[in-house]
Amino acid sequence: MTPASPAKIHWFARLEHRLHVWRERRARRRGRSATVVPFPGYGSTGWVRVVGRALIVPTPRKNARGEGGVRGWRSFVSIPVSFASVVVEIGGRTHTVVADRGGVIDSVIEAELPPGWQTFSMSVEGEEPVDATAFIVDESVDFGVVSDVDDTVMVTALPRPFIAAWNSFVVDEHARTPVPGMAVLLEQLRRDNPGSPMIYLSTGAWNVAPTLTRFLSRHLFPAGAMLLTDWGPTHDRWFRSGQAHKTGNLRRLAEEFPNVRWLLIGDDGQHDEAIYSQFLEEHPSSVAAVAIRRLLPAEAVLAGGRASGEHAEGSVPWVSAEDGAGLRERLTEVGILAE
């Protein structure tokens, strides 16, 4: 019997990798070195999910406020360092993890850390270590929040290609618009449920993570772990599936935190309702409630319409409203928020 041949890598993925290698060699000849851009991770007793990216980044220019690297396009022209070896110093121990082809670091490391936000360090190629953070969930915690980003906490009209490109490459976080009342809603959820994890799960690219982090902080959204994706090709397709990214991470959270029931927050302009409905069918004990932000008519037009609104019938509340204030009222009515 002939052994199965390994999966053939899509030609576009091979082309992308060659381009990255060529750009990396060119940058190194100019004396530029790699660094690690960490993203907020999460963990529990005995382990931490460490996320970040190994990149060769352009030198940021200062703006009038003295801030560097604000505009999103600089993140997109950074050069990923494929398969970089990254040293992680955490919990008094040293670990080495390997980035993927796109320079993305997403590894689970054994570590004993107390609950709450914890700081550790990451470095690559002997460069100066950078601080990274992760939220550690205590074993007694039984509630958490998973929130979409685009058109849920931030108005972006992402599915429309030209607006998506403008938001990602040109506009800085000062020009982006928060969804009214969402910061207050998420902050109340955090206060009412101390120690609970806050996860921002988006189909946006890792490239926009620094801008997104500044946006959330500027508009007083609570800090949370960030799970974005890589827009590049996979081994068998042109671009990664945003739906598969969200579905896979929700299933992973259900496995990692079997005692946690999640409040799932999204909008009706993409596939959140279908994704959450499927997850509810598969893991009914892992869902506390679903809250869907209804797009305004103009936003729905830019987003290419609304979803059907159909969802799985179950024993958990399913509420919707046009903004954070409306969702707060609905969630209070069904007992997720205290009056």
In the numeric block, the tokens 């206060």 are attached to 191
Distance CA 298, CA 304 (A): 10
Q: What pLDDT sits at residue 300?
A: 53
Q: Phi and psi of 69, rounded to 5°?
A: 65, 35
Which amino acid is present at 331? L
> Looking at this protein, which amino acid is placed at residue 90?
I
Distance between CA atoms of residues 279 and 172, nearest Å: 34
Q: What is the residue-level pLDDT of the chain in tens, covering all 339 positions? A: 344 334 455 555 566 557 666 776 676 677 777 889 999 999 998 999 999 999 887 655 545 544 444 345 555 567 888 899 999 999 999 999 999 888 899 999 999 999 999 999 999 999 999 999 999 999 999 999 999 998 899 887 555 455 455 555 555 565 578 999 999 999 999 999 999 999 999 888 787 788 889 899 999 999 999 999 875 544 444 445 578 999 999 999 999 999 999 999 999 886 899 999 999 999 999 999 999 999 876 555 445 545 555 665 667 999 999 999 999 999 999 999 988
pLDDT, residue 296, reads 75
Tell me the domains of the chain and their CATH numbers: 11-136 (2.60.40), 143-333 (3.40.50.1000)
Task: Give the pLDDT score at 230.
Answer: 73
List Cα–Cα distances, 53 to 80, 102, 133, 236, in angstroms. 7, 8, 14, 23
d(C-alpha 138, C-alpha 38), whole Å:
23
Asked if residues 107 and 49 have their Cβ atoms less than 8 Å apart, the reply is yes
**Residue 55, phi-psi category: left (phi > 0), alpha (psi -120 to 50), beta (remainder):** beta
Q: State the DSSP code for 206.
A: G
pLDDT at 322: 95
Q: Are 279 and 264 in contact (CB under 8 A)?
A: yes
